[in-house]
Structure formats: structure tokens, C-alpha cells
Structure 1
């Protein structure tokens, strides 16, 4: 598997530092799980962050902090957490989250919600499109990050196959076409709404909110 499209280094650094919002972190995590190149960048960022923490001057302990810590150790241990597994057709990064059922939103296209807490209007969902299908020509009112999990699609900016990462914002209009041969499944973090173009898009717009 050759991965040609990646998050930028700023996004990877924020992901490594834990400062990226949760919806986008989930999509970046799905990409990093599939991409050795970005996994190495994230590991390097984490090493740099760890070194900076080690070099930081130690804070002076607050009076009584040791006694409080020892008292907490005497408290009953919390019950063991149940480790969940991701659904069979979901990436492992979705194991902590509830995932809805597939819903039809157009010819050959289905959508399912992922219960990741929204951040600044950014939500997470999965999109499944049949071979040879296409999404309507559209723009975006905010930022959209996509990781391809299966299959492939193309638009004006290139071809995106398994593991590829696609970023779009309000400057991008496109019409993604799904390649023949395999269903395309993507994990998406989207801020705002799709803005459907053309007369058909205007008719459909009131009924479409992913």
C-alpha cells in the first residue's frame, strides 16, 4: 500500500502533543495507524516533547501534597475498565466510541455517525460509497479532514486510496468520484456543512446534513 497524501507537519505535531481537538485527532489517528511515514514523525515529535519536559525546572511541591497522595493510595481501587473492541467494519481508533448504523443519503452513498464529542462544530462520521458512484459537486463551510479506509476516490486535486489523507476547506469545491472495483469507506471530521452546488444541489441542500 502506497500512501501519497498526508496531514501537514503542524497537524501531526499538534496530534503528538495532544493539543489537536478530539474529532480531528480521531481522523489523524486512523491515518497514522496506516502510515509508517507519519507514525515516525509523530514518534519524533513525542520524543522532542518528552525531552523538553525532562529539561523543565521541577516545580516546588505544595505543602501537604505528599500526605494527600499517600491518602489517595489508600482509597479503594476503581473497578476495572471494560476494554471495547471496534465494530468489525470500523478502524481500531473507533473502539472507544459508539457508532451508528448505516443510513442511505443518496444513490450508492451511505453515512453513519460516530459519537465523538463535537469541538467547535466539528463532528465525525463514516462515509461509504459504491464503486462507480460520485458525491454531488460541493464546497465546504468549514474544514473537512478525511482518511480513506478502503477503496479509492478521485477529484480535481488527485487520487486518494487506502490510508490517504485529504484536507479541504472553504476554498475547495470538488466532485469526488469513487473508483470501480471496491466500495470506498472513509472516516471524516467535518466542521460546518457541505454546500451543494448547482440547481440539483440547491434542491437537495435542505435535506442534507452529514
Structure 2
């Protein structure tokens, strides 16, 4: 069920039988949840129904996910930390635009590893279910807050300079637009390619931020 554009390499395989079983159970729960969310609605689907479809108990569901919402966002903290660490890593000769693009691609790479169930249905849920849309918007705002001081430091702007926050908003907004474009195209485009296109458009504006 992996979107062909999200996975850039095969994920590392669990080494023990116990880990393999846990991964299979988590994937079965995720597949069941997303199928039910799509077929009968997010709010109408219960944890008990998800567990039943995966042939486990509701108690087992909560060993893997904190809530229904967590099926979609279970690794959001890891993705945020990946973004933060990638932005903090400086590569000689790399421009800020290239660093931000690399950080964004790193997030896509981790998503490919950790979301074997990710497909267009997830994208639709993020757009159509208010609770999920709100959670996604909060994550986008969090990434803007992470990015703004990085931009300010790079261009010698004061931390409170609104240009840094506006630039961060433009970057995150372009990624949000990329997600929508990927969804509306039916998931056939590679997100990494769409991301590169977005950053080509952003480069000119960021390069002249402190003119």
C-alpha cells in the first residue's frame, strides 16, 4: 500500500521474530484502520472495529497506537526531530535553500520507511477529517517555528523580524501545496520531485530576503 513516490529505499527489516510479528501487527492495524476510515468514516469507526478487522483485541490496538488519530500521526515527534536535526546540520557550500530542501527530503525519506500503509486515502483523510486537518496544521505551524529562527540567523535578521516568519510560512506553505498536488494527481507523482519543483520557485525569493 506504499505510495510509489514516498519510499526511496527499502526500510531496514526487523531482526528478530518478535520484532517482525510486532511490525506485522502494527501494519495490519494500520491497514484495517485506514480501510474503515475511508469506507465508513473516521468518526464512525471505533477502535473495537479496527481491532476486530486485524484479528486482535482492542487492548492490543492500544499497545501500538494511543488513539485512532495516532494511526496517522504515530511518528510525528520523530518526523519533527528529523526536520530539526537536518536543519541544524551544515554541509560546506550548501545554501540555506538547499539545507531546507534536504531537511524536507529527509522527512519524506523517514515517512517512506515508517508508513508502509501510506497512500492517497491518508491524504484524503488529512483534508476531509477536521480533527486530522487540525493536527496537520499544528504540525505545519510547529515546523514554521523551527524554521523561522534558522532563516533569521542565516540572513542576519533579528529573531523578531517578521520576514523570517513570513519566509518560513512560504516554505511550509509550498510543502503543503506539494502534498495537495500529489493527492489531486492520485499519488502518481514522486513527492521528492514535487518538492524539488517547489524549492526551485522558492529559491529566488529566499535568496533576496534581506535585500
Question: Which bin holds the TM-score, normalised by the shorter protein?
Answer: under 0.3
Please state which structure has a larger fraction of its residues in strand.
Answer: 1
- RCO higher in 1 or 2 (8 Å CA, sep ≥ 6)? 2
Structure with greater Cα Rg: 1
TM-score when scaled to structure 1? 0.23
TM-score when scaled to structure 2? 0.23
